C-alpha cells in the first residue's frame, strides 16, 4: 500500500503549493488581519526580555545619585511553539481510482476542498486562541439537564463542534476529572447548549467546571488571556518560565485590568482610555480596542437613534467605525462577549515556523489510516508573543 501513499503525497504537495490560500488567516478575523505575523519561530523556544524597572540612580546631588544607582530590572519571557493539527480521512477506493484512471480535475477539487476545510479549522482555532489562555478552556458548565448542557456564556458554544471529545476540570488549567471524554452529538449556538449522551463518562462532572477539547488542556496558544489575565498574577507566577514572576510589577509585565464601571460603554471607554494615558511608557497611543460583534452592535444601536435623516436618498443604517480619541474600536467575531481588550502598537504579535502547512515530517503528506482509508494532516506551529505586555489592557463591557 506504500505506492498510493507515495504517489498521492507528491500530488498533494503540488496541489497544496498551487491552491492553498496563503492569505486566509488574515481574513479569518479582524485581529488576525491586524497582528504582525513573523515566520521566524525556529528554535525550541521563543525568548524575549521586558524591562519593567529602569532603576538607575537619581538624587538632587551627584554623590547620592551615584550611590543610589541600581541596575535595571528585566524579565525574560519564554514560550515553546504550540502545535495544532487537523486530519482529513480520504476513502481508499477514491484514491486508487484517481491513481489508476488518472488524476482528474474533480479529484483535485476534492483534495483542495479537504485542505481548505483543514486550513479553515486551524485558522479559526488560532483566531479564537488569540483571546484565550494556554489552558485551552473553551467554556464553563452552567447547568446540565439530561443530555443537554448549558454553557455559562452562550457565545462559547461557537467554539464547539459535533464530534468533539470533551474533558473537564474543577479549576481552569488544573487536574482533569477522571473518566473518559464525552462526545458531542449536538451544538445549539443560539441557546448556548451542547448535547451528549455520554456526559456521565466524566467522573464528578459539576456546574462551574472548565471544559476542554481532549488533548488541548495546557497545550494551547498563549493568547491575551495569558499575557493580560483577568486576575493579576500573584507571587510565584511562572506562566512564562521559572524566572518570570509577573507579580513584582503586574501592570508592566501582565497588562492593565481596567475597573472602570458605568451605565454605558461610552463612559467606560472614555474613562478607561484616560486612565491608560497615565500609565508609564505611552504604549496605548493609536491602540486598537477589540470587542465582540454583539457588543459592537450595541453601540451602533445606541448611536443610531441619535442620528438625523437629512437626505431623501437611501438611508444607510449602522455606523461602521467608532473611535475613542485616537484609538479605534474594532469588532471581532472571536472576541468573547462582555470583555474588551486594548492592544497598543507593537504590544502583541504572532510568530510561527510558517503558515498552515501540510504535515510531511516523515516524507509523506498522505498516510495509510485504519481500514480502507488514507489520512492527510495540516498543522500550524507557533505562538503569540507580547513584546510590550504593558501595552495590553482589558475591561468589562457593560450590558446594553
Whether residue 304 lies inside any domain: the answer is yes
Q: Clarify whether residues 267 and 172 are in a common domain.
A: no
Place of cell 486598537: 288
Q: Taking the chain, what is the end-to-end CA distance rounded to the nearest angstrom?
A: 60
Q: How far is CA 238 from CA 14, 171, 313, 315, in A?
A: 44, 17, 60, 54
Q: Clarify whether residues 27 and 61 are in a common domain.
A: yes
Q: Other CB atoms closer than 10 Å to residue 106's CB: what's the count?
A: 10
Q: Clarify whether residues 174 and 295 are in a common domain.
A: no
Q: Other CB atoms closer than 10 Å to residue 203's CB: what's the count?
A: 11
Q: Clarify whether residues 280 and 350 are in a common domain.
A: yes
Q: Clarify whether residues 257 and 396 are in a common domain.
A: yes
Q: Clarify whether residues 125 and 187 are in a common domain.
A: no
Looking at the 3D structure of the chain, how many domains does it have? 2
Per-residue confidence (pLDDT) for residue 108, from 0 to 100:
74
Q: Clarify whether residues 205 and 234 are in a common domain.
A: no
pLDDT (tens place) for every residue of the chain, 400 residues total: 444 556 566 666 666 665 566 688 888 999 999 999 999 998 889 999 888 876 677 788 888 877 877 777 888 899 999 999 988 887 777 777 776 766 667 777 777 788 888 889 999 999 999 999 999 999 999 999 999 999 998 888 988 999 999 999 999 999 999 999 999 999 999 999 999 999 999 999 999 999 999 999 999 999 999 999 999 998 888 788 766 889 988 999 999 999 877 778 888 999 998 888 887 766 677 899 999 998 998 888 877 666 555 656 565 655 667 888 889 999 999 998 889 999 999 999 999 988 887 776 655 566 777 778 878 788 899 999 999 999 999 999 987 6
What gap in Å lies between CA 3 and CA 21, rounded to an integer? Answer: 28
Per-residue confidence (pLDDT) for residue 1, from 0 to 100:
42
Q: Clarify whether residues 332 and 250 are in a common domain.
A: yes
Q: Clarify whether residues 117 and 196 are in a common domain.
A: no
Q: Clarify whether residues 150 and 275 are in a common domain.
A: no
What gap in Å lies between CA 5 and CA 116, rounded to an integer? Answer: 20
Whether residue 81 lies inside any domain: the answer is yes
Torsion of CA 27, 29, 31, 37, to 10 degrees: -40
What gap in Å lies between CA 46 and CA 141, rounded to an integer? Answer: 34
Record the cell numbers describing residue 254, joined without a space: 501582565
Provide the CATH number for the domain around residue 3.
3.90.1690
Whether residue 219 lies inside any domain: the answer is no
DSSP structural state of residue 155: G
Per-residue confidence (pLDDT) for residue 399, from 0 to 100:
76
Could you tell me the residue range of the domain that residue 185 belongs to?
A: 139-213
What gap in Å lies between CA 330 and CA 299, rounded to an integer? Answer: 12
Element (H, E) at 121: helix 105-129
> Mapping DSSP to helix (H, G, I), strand (E, B) and coil, where does residue 277 land?
helix
Whether residue 220 lies inside any domain: the answer is no
Amino acid at each position: 500500500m506504500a505506492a498510493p501513499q507515495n504517489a498521492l503525497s507528491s500530488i498533494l504537495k503540488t496541489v497544496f503549493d498551487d491552491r492553498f490560500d496563503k492569505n486566509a488567516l488574515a481574513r479569518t478575523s479582524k485581529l488576525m488581519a491586524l497582528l504582525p505575523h513573523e515566520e521566524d519561530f525556529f528554535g525550541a523556544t521563543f525568548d524575549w526580555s521586558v524591562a519593567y524597572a529602569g532603576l538607575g540612580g537619581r538624587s538632587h546631588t551627584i554623590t547620592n545619585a551615584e550611590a543610589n544607582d541600581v541596575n535595571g530590572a528585566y524579565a525574560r519571557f519564554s514560550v515553546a511553539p504550540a502545535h495544532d493539527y487537523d486530519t482529513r480521512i480520504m476513502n481508499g477506493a477514491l484514491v486508487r481510482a484517481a491513481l489508476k484512471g488518472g488524476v482528474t480535475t474533480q479529484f483535485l477539487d476534492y483534495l483542495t476542498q479537504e485542505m481548505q476545510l483543514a486550513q479553515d479549522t486551524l485558522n479559526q482555532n488560532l483566531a479564537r486562541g488569540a483571546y484565550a489562555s494556554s489552558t485551552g478552556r473553551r467554556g464553563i458548565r452552567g447547568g446540565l439537564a439530561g443530555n443537554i448542557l448549558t454553557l455559562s456564556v452562550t457565545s462559547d458554544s461557537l467554539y464547539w463542534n459535533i464530534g468533539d471529545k470533551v474533558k473537564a476540570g474543577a479549576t481552569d488549567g488544573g487536574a482533569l476529572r477522571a473518566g473518559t471524554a464525552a462526545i458531542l452529538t449536538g451544538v445549539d449556538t443560539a441557546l448556548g447548549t451542547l448535547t451528549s449522551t455520554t456526559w456521565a463518562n466524566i467522573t464528578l462532572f459539576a456546574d462551574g467546571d472548565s471544559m476542554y477539547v481532549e488533548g488541548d488542556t495546557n497545550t494551547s496558544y498563549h493568547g491575551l488571556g495569558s499575557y493580560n489575565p483577568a486576575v493579576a498574577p500573584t507571587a510565584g507566577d511562572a506562566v512564562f518560565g521559572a524566572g518570570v514572576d509577573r507579580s513584582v510589577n503586574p501592570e508592566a509585565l501582565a497588562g492593565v485590568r481596567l475597573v472602570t464601571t458605568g451605565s454605558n460603554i461610552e463612559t467606560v471607554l472614555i474613562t478607561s482610555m484616560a486612565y491608560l494615558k497615565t500609565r508609564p511608557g505611552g504604549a496605548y497611543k493609536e491602540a486598537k480596542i477589540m470587542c465582540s460583534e454583539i457588543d459592537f452592535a450595541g453601540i451602533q444601536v445606541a448611536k443610531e437613534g441619535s442620528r438625523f435623516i437629512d437626505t431623501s436618498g437611501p438611508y444607510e443604517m449602522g455606523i461602521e467605525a467608532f473611535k475613542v480619541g485616537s484609538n479605534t474600536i474594532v469588532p471581532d467575531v472571536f472576541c468573547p462577549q462582555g470583555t474588551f481588550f486594548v492592544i497598543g502598537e507593537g504590544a502583541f504579535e504572532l510568530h510561527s515556523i510558517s503558515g498552515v502547512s501540510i504535515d510531511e515530517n516523515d516524507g509523506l503528506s498522505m498516510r495509510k489510516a485504519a481500514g480502507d482509508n488514507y489520512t492527510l494532516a495540516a498543522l500550524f506551529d507557533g505562538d503569540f508573543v507580547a513584546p510590550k505586555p504593558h501595552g495590553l489592557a482589558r475591561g468589562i463591557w457593560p450590558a446594553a
